[in-house]
Chain A
Amino acid sequence: MSIEIKLSRFNRTYRPDEPLEGKIITKLNSAISHQFIRLTVNGAVNLQVRGGTAGVIESLYGVIKPIPIVKKVVDIRSSGKIGSGTTEIPFSVVLKDSKEENLEKFYETFHGGNVSIQYLMTVDVVRGYLHKPLSTTMEFIVESEKDNLPQKPISPEMVFFYITQDTQRHTLLTELKSGGFRVTGKVCTQCSLLDPIGGELTVEASAVPIQSIDIHLIRVESILIGEKIATESSLIQTTQIADGDVCRGMTLPIYIILPRLLTCPTIFAGPFSVEFKVSIVITFSSDLSKKHSKADPNATKPWMAMESVPLELVYEFKIFKDAGLSDPSSISHREAPNRSEIFRTCTCVKH
């Protein structure tokens, strides 16, 4: 006796304004009668504080009360019977009803460390008091509505950076300090989730040989707890772009494909926010580094130099130009109402 949900899309990804369609499939040994078949859709932001910048007391609370986004209960069938063998029961639910006011914005599905935005659907076949109801739950993924998207592809904004012994706030090895180094380049600060982070980097000079240059992708989750904001940064991906003492003056590309499950559009909501940062980390070869190889990778060390820039991730409805998949007319020509919310102009060009 089993029951399962099969959604119409194999990637289980839907937009709030699209109907969530699929089938309930039951496999039964013998026919059963039921009172009703109920479909529940539940979406919520779950917040949790684990150490980080939160105080000891806040961390004791652990889970903070989730923020509901959507809760819908639909009866697909009233009382009746389901025959033995395999039965398919189709369903279709509209997530966002324009008539009713939603509790919250439909954030995109996201599983972070402290913040988790999750949408679940549950099917219950209720069979009276004598029988246990048959039920199953499945997560589906919500992505941004088309209405909220920019009409034209965003042009990636670049920020120039340069890293020398003088831009570092932590103590450096003496040989680094005296010998000097200079690494310059540019990196994208606003980027579509579907595009790689672009940019380039050039080692102009370095007296000490370089061991490695890595790009760290860092997620910053903040939660408002009372008056305080608990912020936690986590390293979600490291990508090496230089291995060893590379030639000086050669431009190296920065090309980082965003990990799909670990990223989402940058969110600034009242009670919480999810932001991202890119760090360029240069590791110089030094005897010290070999001795301390097991140390915490996030901590700054005297044989490293780094620079961080904020990165704004945007959901962009990708037009597969080559693919011819998308219907150009489906991209709305209406003015995007929330555009200013999504975009935060980045002006952190450093010199």
Chain B
Amino acid sequence: MGVEFRRRDYGAEERACSLPRRRADTHPLSAHSPSALKVKESDCRKDDFVDPLRATDGIMEEAADNMLHEDIDSEATTPSDISAQLRIRKEWSSFKKILMQRFPVSKTTPVSVVSGVLVKGNKGELDDSKIFDEEDVKVVSQQEYLSKLQELKDEINQSWLRDDRVTSLRLSIKVARLLMDASVIQFYPTLFVLATDIMDMLGDRVWARIKQKAEITEEGGFIYALPDNFKAGDVCFDAKETCNNWLSKVGSVRELLPRIYLELAILPCWRFLHNHPENNLQRLVMMVRGIADPVASAYCRLYLVQCAQRLPQYDTGFLITCINDLKVLLMRLTQARDAMDGNLSGNSKLLLTLIEPTIEYIMRCLFKDRKQMEISNILVALGMGRDPSTLFQNCSCISIFLHYILKELPIAFTCFNAMEILHLIECTDDSSFDQCLNFKLLGHRLCERVPEVSSVHLLVDKITQVLSCYDKLDAYLMVADGYLEIILENQLATCVNVILGGIFERLMEEKIGENELMILQSIFLKLLAHFANIEDILALNHFLDILDMLHGSSRNSVNMHLLSMAIREGHIQDPTVIEVLLEVAQVLYDGLDFSNMRKDDYQHPARVISHFVFMVDYGMEVESHLRFLAQCRGAFASISELQEMLVHSSNKLAVRALRDGSNSISFVKSCLAFNEVTVPAIPSVIRQFKLYLETAEVAILGGFISHLDGLINAAINCLQSVDSVDGVQTTEDVEGIISLICKLCGMLVMVPGSLEQGAACIPKRVLSFLDSRSWVFPRLKTKVLCMVVFLSAALSQNQFLYHAISGKVIGNYQLFYGVRSYHQELLSFSGGVLQEIVNIVMQEPSMAVRGKMALEACNCVASSFKMSDEPLEACSKLVEIAKSCSPAGDKFLQSTLKFLNARQFLV
């Protein structure tokens, strides 16, 4: 007989090979050096890097200080002055862009044009004051109108370049006159933007001309370079005369509105005459009062405020007059409508939306960079005293103004005066703006800095009062949403319950629209973000009832957050919570459409659901847990990830039950049965293989031989279908399969064999798998072959290296003790494998890998077999190969040779 397995004494070998052991004081993986970490952190602090998102007040203040300094500097130095002007221009042009987008040019509504205004070559006199006849009115499309306007602009430019400045001015007056017609009001913003473009252009040109006159004489002599912060005294007489000329030419325009626009266009030119050009602003604001058309006058004020910013300085007085005038105008507008039907008619609504941007812009200018004291004064000047007692008496604010004031007020101011502002909103309820939007805005503003809000309890009481008056769901939701954070931050749980109750009540009566859904979602997310504990949330009044009424993406989003939150907290043990969450997960799952959605869209929810299932823990109630798993298997059939996890969980349960001991047999059996059913449903065969092995391990642990045989059989079957199902394999997959096979081999040591099937039945099936799959590299094949040799050697020992913990599994050495045929079979099988190894090693194309493989095989042969002819021959062949492939000094080669020598394999 050629081959024979070497007898092993595992105990003696272990004793010979193991290193002396000592106890360690600390675990190598424990974070034992907290001091080092700290040092790092403090280093970070020292860095110059400032996180722009980190709102440390210190930095903010510093920035504000810097800005202040800049402001002061700008008086003295010019560059920042210029950049400020550039910034204002930039802001203005972006504002204009937004305005145009908000009110786009309509293709259908035509505009009537007074002919002669846009028709070329009408050489009327400058002070052409004749009233146009009705027959002259022509109707053109808006596009046509705009292109005419563009032509006019070009013409103004050209005549200026021809030094025909009178024509330029005349045409500009024509353009300004166009703004008098606000009959097609949707078109007015566009017209305004284009016309003011032309005005600005003219203004710039006039400025440049006068400046040039002040710097260079007519003969070309250089007088004086005007600094950017020049005074009127620096300007020579001629330049002043020219400036006066322009002003009086503009002043001679008969119509009010064009006259104002033109004066505004050349407003900065006042600097050539006076050191305080801003003194004209008050007069101009009052002049605008003469324009009765609400839209035209609002836009005129807008241009006025914009032009004022081009002056080096100005005070707020004119802005306040401006706003108060607008207020009178709007009150007139809304009162007239209120008297009619209590609600704004369509046209007035449109008027308001058109006027709204102007209010927004003017308010922004008014509140820009104001200090606390100034703001109080401004509010008083706007008719909104801070003292609540006076507030009730002369509350003369209108809601649309209040809205934009709220938007612009600094948060610190708002928080400090929260109650007063709330009162103000309460008594300002007119048709110009929805009151609940103002409540909502205040809430949102306050939420930005909740800790600074003064008299929170009063505030919340007031808000609950206000809320109780809203019958409509959307208003209720909006306001509630606005203040929710404040309420939550201040731990006012009863209040939250009241609000939820209110929402529920109104939900019962109304259908939920898209908008309401969004707000409800926001409310739910705020609640979820605030409460740390899922039980607290579920304990909230009507939480689940309201949740049930949600649908669509809002519901999914809330569900996702709810589940994520539950997961974050760790194991979920409360059965009622589990029940609720399972329902939530089911709804979420039902909302997913696996066939039509992109993978990215459903992957995250699927993961969250799987994670939730994983985190559920019934503790000692293993049976309930398994029931739960079974329920999940049915409920989430399409999430393969989750199915895998169910197997893991059930295995975990089985192991726990086994550890706990008493009467667990039937339970473990049901776990195994559960897995036997679950695994085949998983699409990937490799994963099935893996899970079968895992379950088989549990079966060994529990000593369930019949299950074990079935599982291993199923695993091998899986292996055989690998190629057919999964197609071409990636390298990682192949490596994975091979290592799983190695694991299987290791396990087989413990699995009792059967004589009917033959001792080497399973290894044979594995090898046949290897042979039939061309995509398994020679390197991996040798690995498996070595493994099989090791397995056979181990099985033929009289004592095994390891065995199943459970005493119920009888080891093969006991089972087949003295059965010659069994050992014979193993030996003959191994002999065949030995030949195979040598052949396969030869097939490896890479020299280095081949050498290594040969050495590994040598080690395997030398440690498994007794010295005899056949192994010796194989070994010497392998050594030959290794020597030819690896350098002589190779350490692996050296140590292998040494080992072979010790085993007397070296000839």
Contact = CB atoms under 8 A, between A and B. Distances in A.
A136 interface: no
A244 B292 CA distance: 5
A112 B237 CA distance: 27
B885 to A, nearest CB: 100
Contacts of B180: 243
B131 A323 contact: no
Interface stretch (B283-291, B374-382, B800-808): B283-291
A260 B238 contact: no
Contacts of A253: 283, 286-287
Contact of B292 (A238, A242, A259, A294): A242
A255 B133 CA distance: 29
B233 A323 contact: yes
Contact of A241 (B131, B133, B248, B256): B256
Interface residues of B, number: 39
Contact of B238 (A10, A243, A322): A10
B275 A322 contact: yes
B240 interface: yes
Interface in B822-877: none
Contacts of B252: 237, 257, 259
B292 A243 contact: yes
Interface string B231-247: 11101011011000001
A238 B129 CA distance: 8
Interface string A238-269: 11111111110011110111111000000000
B233 to A, nearest CB: 4
Nearest to A248: B332
Q: Which size class do A's interface residues fall under?
A: 35 or more
A271 interface: no
A320 B234 CA distance: 12
A344 to B, nearest CB: 26
A246 B218 CA distance: 46
B262 to A, nearest CB: 12
Nearest to B129: A238
A237 B255 CA distance: 11
A324 interface: yes
B203 to A, nearest CB: 18
A263 to B, nearest CB: 11
A243 B131 contact: no
A247 B248 contact: no
A213 B291 CA distance: 11
Nearest to B233: A324
Interface in B240-294: 240-241, 247-248, 251-252, 254-257, 259, 273-275, 283, 286-287, 289-293
A256 B274 contact: no
A250 B289 CA distance: 7
Nearest to B288: A252
Nearest to A255: B283
B251 A256 contact: yes
B232 A237 contact: no
A247 B256 contact: no
A31 interface: no
A347 interface: no
B325 interface: yes
B328 interface: yes
A196 B237 contact: no
Interface in A125-167: none
Contacts of B256: 240-243
B579 interface: no
A293 B130 CA distance: 9
Contacts of B275: 322
B809 interface: no
A57 interface: no
Contacts of A290: 134
Contacts of B251: 196, 239, 256-257
A246 B290 contact: yes
Given A10-B238, A323-B235, A324-B233, A246 B255 contact: no
A240 B127 CA distance: 12
B880 to A, nearest CB: 109
Contacts of B134: 290
B105 interface: no
Interface string A208-233: 00100110000000000000000000
A213 B290 contact: yes
Interface in A251-307: 251-253, 255-260, 290, 293-294
A11 interface: yes
B289 A246 contact: yes
B237 A325 contact: yes
Interface string A6-23: 000011000000000000
A170 B231 CA distance: 52
Given A257-B251, A257-B252, A322-B273, A247 B291 contact: no
Nearest to A213: B290
B287 A255 contact: yes
B650 to A, nearest CB: 81
Nearest to A200: B286
B329 interface: yes
Contacts of B292: 210, 242-247
Contact of A323 (B133, B232, B247, B257): B232
Interface in B290-340: 290-293, 325, 328-329, 332
A156 to B, nearest CB: 15
Nearest to A258: B248
B268 to A, nearest CB: 15
Given A10-B218, A240-B254, A293 B133 contact: yes
Q: Point out which of A10, A196, A243, A255 has the most chain B C-beta atoms below 10 A from its C-beta.
A: A243
Contacts of B247: 257
B322 to A, nearest CB: 13
Nearest to B329: A247
B283 A260 contact: no
Given A246-B292, A247-B289, A240 B255 contact: yes
B291 A251 contact: no
Contact of A252 (B131, B254, B290, B329): B290
A243 B274 CA distance: 30
A202 to B, nearest CB: 10
A81 to B, nearest CB: 28
Interface string B126-151: 01010101100000000000000000
Interface in B153-183: 180
B824 to A, nearest CB: 117
A246 B293 CA distance: 8
Contact of A243 (B218, B248, B257, B329): B257
A214 B131 CA distance: 14
Contacts of A252: 286-287, 289-290
Interface in A1-42: 10-11
Given A10-B218, A259-B252, A323 B240 contact: yes
Q: Point out which of A244, A255, A320 has the most chain B C-beta atoms below 10 A from its C-beta.
A: A244
A16 B283 CA distance: 37
A333 to B, nearest CB: 24
B290 A243 contact: yes
A260 B248 CA distance: 8
B327 to A, nearest CB: 11
Contact of B289 (A10, A210, A251): A251
A276 to B, nearest CB: 16
A243 B255 contact: yes
B287 A237 contact: no
B332 A247 contact: yes
A320 B329 contact: no
A301 B575 CA distance: 92
5 contacts: A238-B129, A243-B290, A320-B232, A320-B240, A322-B275
Given A240-B256, A244-B292, A251-B289, 20 more contacts: A10-B218, A10-B238, A11-B241, A210-B292, A237-B127, A243-B180, A243-B257, A243-B290, A243-B292, A244-B291, A244-B293, A252-B286, A256-B251, A257-B251, A258-B248, A259-B252, A260-B248, A322-B232, A323-B240, A325-B233
Can you list the 6 inter-chain pairs with the closest CB atoms, starting with the nearest?
Answer: A244-B292, A257-B251, A322-B232, A242-B290, A324-B233, A240-B256
